[in-house]
Structure 1
Amino acid sequence: MRIFQTLQIAMLGIAMCVQPATAQVANSLSKPIRLIVPFAAGGPTDAAARAVGEGLSRALGQSVIVENKPGANTIIGASACKAAAPDGQTFCIFLNDTVTINPSVYSKLPYDSDLDFVAVASLVGIESAIVVTADVPVSNLKELAQFDAANPGKLNWGTFGIGSSAHLYLGQANRALNTRINHVPYAQGGAAVVSGLMSGDIQSTMLSYGLVNQWIQKGKLKAIAVIGESRSPYFPNVHSVKEQGLGMSPRLWIGMFAPSGIPAAAVEQMNKAVNRILLDPAFQKQYLETQGLTPLVGTSQEFADRIRRDRAEWAAVASATNVRLD
């Protein structure tokens, strides 16, 4: 866990480089702003929330408190977001899974992605890859399938939750490649998945560049497929899943939401503040680029449109892979 604690500290320091705008947005709130994160500390969603939160604190002149509420494939944190007062003091930092995947894989949810949340601002896109441990003698998805056929039952795929994006990618891989890779969920999140890789409990997964890069550099992990339709500058020599015939390519992202009923003025204020932080060159170079994150600047309406498009794509994947949870 030391590497993830170090990452969080670095994110906080970097975010302090973000200078407040000359004309600060007026904010009459007297209480701290809350950022609810439905993951444990240590992963990319938590790190992004803390970095952006520090930038917001400086820009708005208010305290920002990150509250980690992990569990149940982000449902616990999402439920806390839904229950919060829509007064512009509580915002939520979600991985796309919460609003684009959960509605398709759960027969019942304690929240409605459309009715209970307001899309405030997209934050970052996550460069991710399918990786395997160094002792698995493969360099692409075709070789992974061949290894699985020759060694049935020996490959375990770790995910950050049942019904998560990583789980759906496994389902699609097993379907498209005719593999039988075992699913091992880690409810604690991506940091726990990395620990599982290092201990040998699992041999493959799909994770973000920020979580796997140092282990790739040390020769402990290998990237064999980039998530997306084309290659990534963060994994320059690795073909994308689309190029390798996996048949799916949705990228992951992190965004900011608020409880339904929040005043439109508060949404606009926060959207503009977040966009200023994301456009800061120092923030991009020292935080986003080092972690393989891409700034997603835009209006709240553009963010809502992205959510609808991605939800339709993930729904098709969930249907094809028959991932359904009660």
Structure 2
Amino acid sequence: MHRRTLLAATVALSLATALAACGPNAQGADSTAKAWPRKGKPVELIVSFAPGGAVDTAARLVAPALEKELGTNVEVVNKPGAGGQVGYTFLTSAKPDGYTIGATGSPSVVVSPLDPARGAKYTRESFQPLGMQVIDPAVIGVAPDSPYSSVKDLVAAAKAKPGTITVSTTGLQTGEHFAAADMEQKSGTKFALVHFSDGASQAVAAFLGGHVQVYLGSASDVTDLVKQKKIKLLGVMAEERSTFLPDVPTFKEQGYDVKSATARGYSAPAGLPADVKTKLEAGLKKAIEDPEVQQRMTKLGLQTHYLDAAAYQQFWGEQETTIKSVLPLVIKK
């Protein structure tokens, strides 16, 4: 009799537990996601570069606006190293629960997993894109007294004397390096590339000092130089003219289908719950499109170009395809 009673109690308890799991108090994956973010738990925004750069600056402008949308603190954490690879490794290794997101800048985030020599532990599929904030097109310029007044002039001179015209980049396998390789391939020219591994500031200093003949870099890095008439821009590597440099024609206008830009957005580790992704994407959209954030970005010469998660993912894939085609040209044997 005692054994029957015990068995009945066990069955009743199991049934009650099963019913409770199906009831309104159940805490399945969806309800957990809907409760995100948990009160008092901050979201870390990983920046894979040192403080003070364009990626870091944009992230620190967005963070306060994103806090308002999410209702929790958003803490910017810098993890620089290996051209962004250290930070991207940290981001993709984090738990995909929405409490760790990261600023993703290309081509750095695109290039590192494509070159086996770099030993990246992530691929494009390791990221869940959330939205793009900035697209900063590449430009090419010469000294104000240079005899070159157009991209065609520069190409003609380079063809006449292959490998003699010096062009700056911010290092091997950077956006500028890929842009130069793409330009060489599509114009049939050969330049003497000079790589400045410390970044844009070193490249600008070398150009202003007359140590390189041609400056190749992001538009945001030269807007002040243009105003000061210290550089003559020959072309912008974008589909359309830059709003900050409306008088500079695109390469396409001049007969060369060369497009290159640094894209900066935000991503999470792959595997993010759908409801959490939706909240983060919506929050980032409002933060990026906040009028005050956009105004401050404009003052920095950074062009806001919002893309939602799906469009950003497509853009990312297109950049990967382009880089794959020129990667053999920039990898040192």
TM-score where L is the length of structure 2 = 0.77
C-alpha change, 1:128 and 1:173, in structure 2 (3 Å) is closer
- Alignment check: 8 A CA contact 1:161 1:167 kept: yes
Q: Deviations over 1:295-324 (max 9, x none)?
A: 3142x22322222233223323435xx233
Distance 1:83 1:205 in 2: 37
Structure 1 position 231, deviation (Å)? 2.6
Distance 1:222 1:272 in 2: 41
Structure 1 position 154, deviation (Å)? 5.6
> What residue number does 1:240 align with?
250
Distance 2:163 2:282 in 1: 50
Q: Classify the secondary structure of the residue corresponding to 1:79.
A: helix
**Aligned with residue 72 of structure 1, among 63, 82, 100:** 82
Higher CA-based Rg: 2
- Alignment check: 8 A CA contact 1:34 1:66 kept: yes
Structure 1 position 87, deviation (Å)? 2.9
> What residue number does 1:311 align with?
320
Q: Classify the secondary structure of the residue corresponding to 2:44.
A: strand
Equivalent runs, 1:1-326 vs 2, <5 Å: 27-28=37-38, 30-106=40-116, 109-148=119-158, 155-288=165-298, 291-298=301-308, 300-318=309-327, 322-324=329-331
Structure 1 position 268, deviation (Å)? 1.6
- Alignment check: 8 A CA contact 1:131 1:223 kept: yes
TM-score where L is the length of structure 1 = 0.79
- Alignment check: 8 A CA contact 2:112 2:118 kept: no
C-alpha change, 1:86 and 1:234, in structure 2 (3 Å) is same
Q: What is the total number of aligned residue pairs between the two structures?
A: 299
Structure 1 position 214, deviation (Å)? 0.4
- Alignment check: 8 A CA contact 1:38 1:68 kept: yes
C-alpha change, 1:85 and 1:70, in structure 2 (3 Å) is same
C-alpha change, 1:180 and 1:313, in structure 2 (3 Å) is closer
- Alignment check: 8 A CA contact 2:104 2:264 kept: yes
C-alpha change, 1:261 and 1:167, in structure 2 (3 Å) is same
Q: Deviations over 1:108-128 (max 9, x none)?
A: 541333332111222222243
Q: Deviations over 1:255-298 (max 9, x none)?
A: 10112233333222111111012222333234247524133142
Distance 1:79 1:29 in 2: 27
Distance 2:272 2:311 in 1: 18
Code of the aligned partner of 2:330: V
Distance 1:179 1:65 in 2: 46
Code of the aligned partner of 1:324: I
C-alpha change, 1:102 and 1:134, in structure 2 (3 Å) is farther
Q: Classify the secondary structure of the residue corresponding to 1:115.
A: helix
Structure 1 position 210, deviation (Å)? 2.0
> What residue number does 1:18 align with?
none
Distance 1:178 1:308 in 2: 26
C-alpha change, 1:325 and 1:107, in structure 2 (3 Å) is farther
Q: Percent identity?
A: 26
C-alpha change, 1:189 and 1:58, in structure 2 (3 Å) is farther
- Alignment check: 8 A CA contact 2:45 2:74 kept: yes
Q: Classify the secondary structure of the residue corresponding to 2:50.
A: coil
